[in-house]
Amino acid sequence: MKYFDELSIATMDFERLLDESVRVHGHLCPGQVLGVRMAIYGLKKIAIDDPKGKDRKKIYLFVEIDRCATDALQSVTGCSLGKRTMRFVDYGKMAATFVNLETGKAVRVVAREEAREKAKEYFPEIEDKYRCQLEAYRIMPDKELFYHQDVKVEIPPEDMPGRPLRRVQCASCGEYVQDLREVIKDGKTLCRTCANGGGYYRIEDITCSK
């Protein structure tokens, strides 16, 4: 890793972190390598050294894409939807925002598009572009893979880890809604599906309903 930026946690642990991520994801691909590198880079920027240990309650993560790199980000940081320490924002961008809840420091890390082509400069002998990217992403300097932005993020109480702040029943379908996701419409408390006249699903067999 002679090109890899100096960073003790990254230099020492990269291959181990990549192996762990591949086990979670199911296969090795450029997105896994990029995601692990992005996670290491982002954690460094917000001064998180031990995301799964002593710092586990300090970190919050926003991810902007539901692709391979997201599994790597989850694997390295320990953040997840189930723990309510990860928030998926559907922007379709290879980017993530790392937040240190203790200090308030937040950094948005974006993968550079030009890194795809620059990978050829590192391994011109590899014709397969995906294998070329996979190998190059292992050793390319951080500055060629990413750029970052210092940002400010407001995380509302209902999006924070912990017990639900409230649990209410929808006046239309009868299902329960947690964490202030309900909607008040015409004086009624409704879930978002009922308030919007439908959701991502369509009920086909009403006999299965209660």
In which band, very low, low, confident or very high, does the pLDDT at 3 lie, cut at 50, 70 and 90?
very low
Measured CA to CA, the distance from residue 93 to residue 108 in angstroms comes to 12
Query: What is the reported pLDDT for 38?
Result: 96
pLDDT at 101: 96
Shared-domain flag, residues 69 and 154: yes
Q: What is the pTM assigned to this prediction?
A: 0.87
2 assigned to some structural domain: no
**In this structure, what CATH number is given to the domain that contains residue 76?**
3.30.1330.130
Clarify whether residues 152 and 76 are in a common domain. yes
Same domain membership, residue 181 and residue 154:
no
CA–CA separation, 109 and 35 (whole Å): 11
Do residue 178 and residue 76 come from a single domain?
Answer: no
Q: Over 100-135, what HEC string results?
A: ECCCCCEEEEEECCCHHHHHHHHCCCCCCHHHHHHH
User: For residue 182, which amino acid is it?
Assistant: E
Number of domains, the chain: 2
pLDDT at 202: 85
Q: Provide the pLDDT confidence category of residue 192 given band limits of 50, 70 and 90.
A: very high
Cα distance from N-terminal residue to C-terminal residue, the chain = 59
Domain boundary among 118, 135, 159: 159
3-state secondary structure at position 189 = strand
Determine, yes or no, domain membership for 33: yes
**Do residues 80 and 104 share a domain?**
yes
CA distance 192 to 96: 27
Evaluate whether residue 141 is within a structural domain: yes
Q: Are residues 105 and 190 in the same domain?
A: no
At 67-115, the pLDDT tens digits run 999 999 999 999 999 999 999 999 999 999 999 999 999 999 999 999 9
pLDDT tens-digit series, residues 145-179: 999 999 999 999 999 999 999 999 999 999 999 99
One domain, residues 135 and 52: yes
Compute how many other C-beta atoms are within 10 angstroms of the C-beta atom of residue 65. 20
Mean pLDDT calculated for residue range 50-66: 94
Q: Which residues contact 93 (CB under 8 A, 6 or more apart)?
A: 64, 65, 110
106 falls within a domain: yes
The reply to whether 1 falls in a domain is: no
**Same-domain status, 22 and 69:** yes
What is the rounded CA–CA span in Å between residue 45 and residue 195? 41
**122 and 83 share one domain:** yes
106 and 196 inside one domain: no
Degrees to nearest 5, angle at CA 21 with 20 and 23: 65
What value does the mean pLDDT take over residues 33-45?
95
What does the pLDDT read at residue 63?
98
Go through 88-123 and write b for each residue having 16 or more CB atoms within 10 A of its CB, e for each that does not. eeeeeebbbbbbbbeeebbbbbbbeeebbeebeebb
**pLDDT, averaged across the chain:** 90
72 and 13 in a common domain: yes
Task: Specify the DSSP class assigned to residue 207.
Answer: G
Same domain for 139 and 52, yes or no, is yes
User: Do the domain assignments include residue 105?
Assistant: yes
- Asked whether residue 192 is assigned to any structural domain, the reply reads yes
Asked whether residue 3 is assigned to any structural domain, the reply reads no
125-152 per-position pLDDT tens digit: 999 999 999 999 999 999 999 999 999 9
Q: What domain range is 191 assigned to?
A: 167-208
Residue range 28-51: average pLDDT?
Answer: 94
